Amino acid sequence: MVGVCALIEYAVRVMMLSLPAMVANAMPLITCRSILRNPHPIDLNKRFLDGKRVFGDNKSVEGFISGVVAGFLVGLTYSYYFNMTAWILYGLTSGLGAMCGDLLNSFIKRRLGLRPGQPFIPLDQLSFIIMAFALVKAFKADVMVGQDLGTVDFVAGLALAGVLHPLTNYVAYLLGVKETPL
């Protein structure tokens, strides 16, 4: 019974530490498809050396900002709950990392000739969490909140994102917010 409780406690910890990135990753879709009608492309419609758009129409300034702000707000909520302001930096760096990972994913997809919104498994499911983890580690935001993330935490976060990302995308598809189920 102790082993099961420890496993549940660990799973909750991983979910809590991944939440700022996951909320950040979901926010641009909510912001740009449900709230804003004419978002501004973050690449300013510019083309890369290969003649293809840098990121494409689905990546906007408003979406990027909304994702970073969402991560920040999760961190702000944690800071009130845990009475530790360092959680604000954790949420901000996690949200910023998630948005940078999503942009990197789009950049790679454009270079491969994939159209915006076209699934690219597993990068779609993992790029945001990889970059969020990297930025959190780079700024030592995890250590500041007393959660020194290691390799096992990273792999657990990848597994969580690998499961939850497709599920939440499918729900968004069923609700008509997303055009493709993955």
- The predicted model gives 165-177 an average pLDDT of 86
pLDDT at 171 over 80: yes
Tell me how many domains the chain contains. 1
Residue pair 66/31 in contact by the 8 Å Cβ criterion = yes
Whether residue 28 contacts residue 71, with contact meaning beta carbons closer than 8 Å, is answered with: no
Q: What is the pLDDT of residue 59?
A: 94
Mean pLDDT over 54-61 rounds to 93
179 within a domain of the structure (yes/no): no
Is residue 182 in some structural domain?
no
Q: Give the domain range for residue 165.
A: 2-174
Q: Is residue 96 part of a domain?
A: yes
What the block records as the tokens of 166 is 């497709």
Q: Specify if 129 maps to a domain.
A: yes
**What are the DSSP calls for 131-177, one per residue?**
HHHHHHHHTTHHHHTT----HHHHHHHHHHHHHHHHHHHHHHHHTTS
- Reported as a pLDDT band with limits 50, 70 and 90, residue 36 is confident
Say which residue the tokens 């597993």 belong to: 122
CA-wise closest residue to 166 among 155, 148, 180, 154: 180
- pLDDT of 78 > 70? The answer is yes
Domain membership of residue 181 (yes or no) is no
Judge whether 180 lies within some domain.
no
When pLDDT is cut at 50, 70 and 90, the band that residue 169 belongs to is confident
pLDDT value at residue 1: 65
Q: Looking at this protein, which amino acid is placed at residue 60?
A: S
**The pTM is what?**
0.92
Is 66 a domain residue?
yes
What is the band of 33 on the pLDDT scale with cuts at 50, 70, 90?
confident
Per-residue model confidence as pLDDT tens digits over 111-155 = 999 988 888 989 988 999 999 999 999 999 999 999 999 999 999
pLDDT of residue 28: 93
